[in-house]
Each structure stands twice: as structure tokens, then as C-alpha cells.
Amino acid sequence: MNTYEKVAVVTGASRGIGKAIAEQLAQQNIAVLINYVSNTDAADEVVETIKKAGGEAAAFKADVSKFEEVEAMFDHAETLYGKIDILVNTAGVMHKNVPLAEMDDEIFDRTMATNVKGPFNTMRLAAKRLNEGGKIINFSTSVTKLLMPTYTVYAASKSAIETMTNIFAKELRGRNITVNAVAPGPTATDLFLEGKSEELIEELANKPPLERLGEPKDIADIVEFLVSDKAGWINGQTIFANGGLI
């Protein structure tokens, strides 16, 4: 007999913030389906870490921008665990930032495909297949408030997520499903640190009044709260987590 209480699908969970969330949810007696798009070894490592700690997890490769692959992922979760209670959309991309006038079609299309169409695909399936009382957590970014030059397309994609989150929460009236988003500030993941000088990292770390970068666990703690019963009255909101940067 299965002992886990809930089942979560976490997209983009093979590294960074998604990985931290998957591992932390698994500690709360939640079975986790680890979604990834390319790095099988990294996803398998997350599964192994969770299982060694006594949790339950499995990995599934799917490009969230493709509806048929997302549908197959939901099918797999239900086949393995019989239900889905939680959806966490951490899968996202941020390509090299350039001014809007210099942005090319490929970067624009790839950003929108993953950052907007991906959550669109998972949410429209979740509307029909998430259990009563389910939880959906999307991911935005504090860049939507910082409004930094060269981040136009990335910020626009995440602003769309904030709007979709609020409206989707209203559309799920009667299902007792909450929909919220988390908007991290600079967070010390490999993806964020890659290609940045020590001086730039130190500068970014000193910007918040708490004088440090966020850690993946800081964000995972918020998600753990939002999927718990204690957050039952929070719905349609975007939670900014940046140490007071904005």
C-alpha cells in the first residue's frame, strides 16, 4: 500500500530551484514526478537522492512547450501514482539578454514557448485532471518589477505568467484548487552563476537589504508553504521572494 499522501508534478526539476522544490516536497510525504527536458543523468540523480532519503519519485522527459508530451507526462504520473494533487511549473529559460531592437526571432520564440506555452499546457490539463483541493504553483521573476534594460522578452514572458495565474485562479471556481506564483530575485543556482564574474555576483548579492543572494531552499520553503493546507486562503497571488530587493 502506498504511504504518500499527495502526488506532485514538478517541471524543470532536474536542477536549481526545481530540484530543491522536488526534494523538499518529497520530505513532506509527497510522491514527486521529476520533469526534465534533456539531462537524464541529472534527473535520475534527483530521483535517487529522494529515494535514498526515504521518499518516492520518478523521472519523466517532456518538453513542456509540446502539449502531447505534457499529456503523456500527466498520464505517466497517474499510471504510477493514481492521481495528481500538485503542479509546480519551474521549467523556464532565460537566454542571453539583449536590447529589444537586437532581439531575434529564435530567442523570442524559444522564450515564449517554454516560459508561457509550457505553463499554459500544464495548467489547461491540470484544470481537468488535478484532484479537488489541488495546488498549482507557477514561476515568475522579480525582473517584472525591476524592469531592467535587455530583459524585455524574459520579463514579458513572466508578466504573462502573473496574469495567467490570477485569471486561472478565478476560472477554477468551485474546484477548491488554488493557483499562485512565486517570483524569485537573484538566486544562487548554477544557471544564474554561470558566466558571471565574482565582482558582479558580489554586487548582486549586496543589492537586497539582507545582503545575500537567495538560495534554492529559500524558494522551496515558500512552495512548501503554498502547497500546504496552511496556505488555503492564498489564491491568485504572485509572491515576490527577493530579500527586499524591490
Q: Evaluate whether residue 177 is within a structural domain.
A: yes
Q: Evaluate whether residue 197 is within a structural domain.
A: yes
Q: Evaluate whether residue 246 is within a structural domain.
A: no
Residue 243 near residue 185, CB atoms below 8 Å: yes
C-alpha 88: how far from its chain's center?
5
Global model pTM greater than 0.85 = yes
User: Annotated catalytic sites, by residue?
Assistant: 154
Measure the CA–CA gap between 10 and 25, rounded to whole angstroms.
10
Percentage of the chain modeled with pLDDT above 70: 99
Q: Residue 142 has what pLDDT?
A: 96
Q: Which residues are CB-neighbours of 106 under 8 A, at least 6 positions away?
A: none
Measure the CA–CA gap between 2 and 137, rounded to whole angstroms.
25
Q: What is the CATH number of the domain that holds 124?
A: 3.40.50.720
Q: What is the mean pLDDT of residues 202-216?
A: 95
Measure the CA–CA gap between 36 and 58, rounded to whole angstroms.
11
Q: How confident is the model at residue 94 (pLDDT cuts 50, 70, 90)?
A: confident
Q: Evaluate whether residue 121 is within a structural domain.
A: yes
How many structural domains does the chain have?
1
Q: Evaluate whether residue 154 is within a structural domain.
A: yes
H-type helices in 12-66, by residue range?
16-26, 40-52
pLDDT digits (tens, 9 = 90+) for 69-80: 999 999 999 999
The strand pairing partners of 214, in sequence order, are 187
Q: Evaluate whether residue 137 is within a structural domain.
A: yes
pLDDT digits (tens, 9 = 90+) for 108-154: 999 999 999 999 999 999 999 999 999 999 999 999 999 999 999 99
- Whether residue 2 has pLDDT greater than 70: no
- Whether residue 186 has pLDDT greater than 70: yes
Coil, helix or strand for 10? strand
Q: Residue 95 has what pLDDT?
A: 81
Measure the CA–CA gap between 165 and 217, rounded to whole angstroms.
23
Q: Evaluate whether residue 126 is within a structural domain.
A: yes
Q: Evaluate whether residue 1 is within a structural domain.
A: no
Q: Residue 108 has what pLDDT?
A: 95
Q: What is the mean pLDDT of residues 167-177?
A: 97
pLDDT digits (tens, 9 = 90+) for 26-48: 999 999 999 999 999 999 999 99
Q: How confident is the model at residue 1 (pLDDT cuts 50, 70, 90)?
A: very low
Residue 13 near residue 43, CB atoms below 8 Å: yes
Range with lowest mean pLDDT among 25-29, 48-52, 147-151, 167-171 = 147-151
- Whether residue 229 has pLDDT greater than 60: yes
Measure the CA–CA gap between 150 and 98, rounded to whole angstroms.
5
The range of the structural domain enclosing residue 112 comes to 6-241
Residue 84 near residue 129, CB atoms below 8 Å: yes
